Amino acid sequence: MKRLINGVHAMQTEDYQLSIQSEYTLQKTDRAWWASPPVIVTLTVFLSLLDAVVLYDIMDAAMVQSAWLGMLVAIGIALVLNVIPLVLAKLLHQAIYKLKRYAGTMAALLLAAFVLLFSGTVFLRFAFSERYEPDNTGDTLVNTMEDSGEESVDPETQAKNEAQANAVVILLSVEPLVTSTANFVLAFLSDDELRARINRLRVRRLELLEDISDLQAARSNLEGDRQNLLSLDKERYQAARQVLDDRCQILCARARFLLAQYLADPSSISRLAAQSVALVENHVPLTALADNPNTQKEEKRYEISA
């Protein structure tokens, strides 16, 4: 649910998932409800059952060995006639877009297998076409001659019966072809491999953009933390250095005091005492103290006397 800010949609917070959801919605606009996978699967099963019922009529008459054999063969042929168009549509897309090697060859082989199987069912129906002729026993002419008991049928009636039987055979033969064609068209329109790849890449692009934004935000936070840490480290370094300088100055002052006591020279004592006071009050760095000529001179006198 979108939350309004002061009644204005434009001021609402932009969520990361909003762009991806919009992309998914856009991709669904060119797909009808009958092109969804559940509908295609359900329709394929229904059409396969319809073809199996139509084929079972002729298979029951042809497979005289067993009734179960005719039923199984009818169901198997119906499934094959409705599954081949689904695979054929996918291979045809791959052959058109050149996404897979030998896709055109495999599509041609599947098409040849479909034509052979469908032609076999058509020939079988025409072979048993007399089953579809109407019963015209009332139109049968009986020869009442004593030397012949044969029955004859009117030629016009016979031609009419054959025409009706052929019409039924053609209708029942075309029905599996129509269902297979419908499955092929639905699969060809809904299962476009190249379009699916492009849609996936578009969504992946949005996901990567979100990842880049997250990484950039994390980098900005790290840069800020880095500057803070560097400043804190510099401050602590300066404080530690100041502590060491203070300790060194105190030690130098004490050393000069002890040196003055050892020398017992009034002028040296005065000079060393003045330098010690100046070091403590002015916080003179140790390096400046070491470079002082007077300090170096006093250290040499201390070494000679020692």
Burial 257-285 (b: 16+ CB within 10 A, else e): eebbeebeeeebbebbeebbeebeeeebe
For 35-94, the pLDDT digits (tens) are 677 888 888 888 888 888 888 888 877 777 777 888 888 889 999 999 999 999 999 988
Residue 207 belongs to some domain of the structure:
no
Q: Are 71 and 101 in contact (CB under 8 A)?
A: no
Query: Which DSSP string corresponds to 128-181?
Result: TGGGGS---GGGEEE---TT---EEE-HHHHHHHHHHHHHHHHHHHHHHHHHHH
Give Cα separations from 65 to 16, 132, 214, 305 (angstroms).
Answer: 67, 22, 72, 134
Q: Examine residue 77 and state whether it is found in any structural domain, yes or no.
A: yes
- Name the pLDDT band for 106 (thresholds 50, 70, 90): very high
In this structure, the answer to whether residues 25 and 173 fall within a common structural domain is yes
Name residue, tokens 């060491």: 244
pLDDT at residue 4 is higher than 60 = no
Same domain? 95 vs 174: yes
Residues of the chain above pLDDT 70, percent: 72
Residues 33 and 115 in one domain: yes
For residue 269, the enclosing domain spans 241-306
On the question of pLDDT at 153 being above 90, the answer is no
Q: 239 pLDDT exceeds 70?
A: yes
The share of the chain scoring above pLDDT 90, in percent, equals: 10
Cα distances (angstroms) measured from residue 13 to each of 20, 107, 113 = 15, 51, 58
Give the max Cα distance, the chain.
Answer: 179
Which is more confidently placed, 73 or 136? Answer: 73
- Domain total of the chain: 2
Judge whether residue 128 has pLDDT over 70.
yes
Domain check: are 27 and 108 in the same one? yes
